[in-house]
Structure 1
């Protein structure tokens, strides 16, 4: 399936900003079942951007805006061709050793409730693939998808305790349980065709687990399924703070307001 993606991020500043810098994780990855047919980023300073591959293999752009300005607009768009591989990720280059993804972070540190969830799932399912599916189903049932009840710093433990959250929280909870059980897990950002193909206010996120004899497999606990051809994979890391699509800092300005619009739909053949 060929998907057209348009991801807009706008920062509006209450007072004039002297300069700003943005780090972008906005370029989809390429591997066996995902091909980047076209991709373009429009942003102030993009023509002079520092472009590099980070330790996880993600393509990163660093852009700067100099001189007084009251807003910054970043638009990433293009066409990606995706094949359904039942969540299996093959041919993706990630320089980081697999054991790095056993590391818990502030966002994924397991609470007693998460430890109990993980142990109970492991008692029911001993095979790694079955276990990962069991964890996905359990987390999907324990954290109801609800926008606006969590924030960027909410931890997996907090989301599970509250019983509500968004895809970021589902992914963090999945990673917390996987890593506690000794299964490497990595956080993934990307895009998903939404119901009715309406614009969304954020990109999507899910987890990947390293399954023996299979390799890395994606698990989207928010939707309780493995990624299909409706998903586009962008970047990977240990947790959400490490792979925020657009993250920046500024000199000057008293406050900022960020608005995001994401549209994913089948591309015209």
Structure 2
């Protein structure tokens, strides 16, 4: 499938900023089932952009801008070719061993209620892959309509107990539950081709299955990612795979708005 992505991030400041430094995890990497045809990261002010790779293997662009800055627009446009893999991640950069992704973080610690839900959700199958598919389906049934929203900083436990979640939240719930079952799991930030515009990138999870490798699970659909998905960044949780993050030097308030369109252009024959 050929997917076109147009992702605009708008920062507005109540007072001019002296300096802005941003880490952008907005560039997908090639895998066996994902090929970046074209990709451009742009900014509307004088700034230095430096490309590198972080410890997770993500493509990272560092942005450095000197003030005074009253507003900052970051634009990403590109096209990606994808193919169906039944959720299995093939040919990705893997600088870290799977066991690293058993590490818990403050945002992926599970409450007792989430642990009980996960234990019930995995069912009685002795097959690990079947258990994770059951957990994925159970989370989707519990949270059937989850939008892509900007990060509110919720933990997996907080979102579960609140009963209201975004795709980011249910991905972190899946990760917390999988790690509780001693299955390495990680957070994925990326894009999913849909008709509607949205206000944040999509989020899902990947778990490592012995003998198979990393497999994607999207609790917002109850299914594994298909060829309509584009992987952009991975991490232990939403914070470590955030599309943008950084610091600013200056007083005043910050307003953030995101305009994101992901369109299916067609399937490759």
Structure 2 SS opposite 1:12:
strand
**Of 179-188 and 142-151, the range deviating more from structure 2:** 142-151
Instruction: State the partner residue of 1:228.
Output: 226
Contact 1:28–1:234 (CA<8 Å) still a contact in 2?
yes
**Of 135-144 and 148-157, the range deviating more from structure 2:** 148-157
Instruction: State the partner residue of 1:208.
Output: 206
Structural mapping, 1:90-129, within 5 Å: 90-129=90-129
Note the alpha carbon deviations across 1:153-187, whole angstroms, 9 max, x for none.
Answer: 11111111122101001100000010010100010
- 1:120 Cα offset (Å): 2.2
Unaligned runs of 5+ in 2: none
What TM-score, normalized to structure 2?
0.94
Structural mapping, 1:9-28, within 5 Å: 9-28=9-28
- 1:67 Cα offset (Å): 2.2
- 1:147 Cα offset (Å): 5.0
Unaligned runs of 5+ in 1: none
Cα distance in 1 for residues equivalent to 2:157 and 2:191: 25
Structure 1 SS opposite 2:4:
strand
Instruction: State the partner residue of 1:240.
Output: 238
- 1:25 Cα offset (Å): 0.2
Query: Considering only aligned residues, what root-mean-square deviation do their CA atoms show, in Å?
Result: 1.9
Note the alpha carbon deviations across 1:108-130, whole angstroms, 9 max, x for none.
Answer: 10110111122223452220110
Contact 2:22–2:63 (CA<8 Å) still a contact in 1?
yes
Cα distance in 1 for residues equivalent to 2:76 and 2:150: 26
Contact 1:143–1:160 (CA<8 Å) still a contact in 2?
no
Instruction: State the partner residue of 2:178.
Output: 178
Cα distance in 2 for residues equivalent to 1:57 and 1:180: 25
Instruction: State the partner residue of 1:258.
Output: 256
Contact 1:149–1:165 (CA<8 Å) still a contact in 2?
no
Cα distance in 1 for residues equivalent to 2:8 and 2:87: 27
Contact 1:7–1:263 (CA<8 Å) still a contact in 2?
yes
Instruction: State the partner residue of 2:29.
Output: 29
Cα distance in 2 for residues equivalent to 1:116 and 1:124: 14
Cα distance in 2 for residues equivalent to 1:148 and 1:200: 6
Contact 1:186–1:238 (CA<8 Å) still a contact in 2?
yes
Cα distance in 2 for residues equivalent to 1:151 and 1:124: 34
Cα distance in 1 for residues equivalent to 2:214 and 2:137: 18
Instruction: State the partner residue of 2:134.
Output: 134
Contact 1:25–1:246 (CA<8 Å) still a contact in 2?
yes
**Of 147-156 and 54-63, the range deviating more from structure 2:** 147-156
Cα distance in 2 for residues equivalent to 1:170 and 1:61: 27
Structure 2 SS opposite 1:104:
coil
Contact 1:43–1:74 (CA<8 Å) still a contact in 2?
yes
Instruction: State the partner residue of 2:152.
Output: 152
Instruction: State the partner residue of 1:41.
Output: 41
Contact 2:149–2:199 (CA<8 Å) still a contact in 1?
no
**Of 142-151 and 244-253, the range deviating more from structure 2:** 142-151
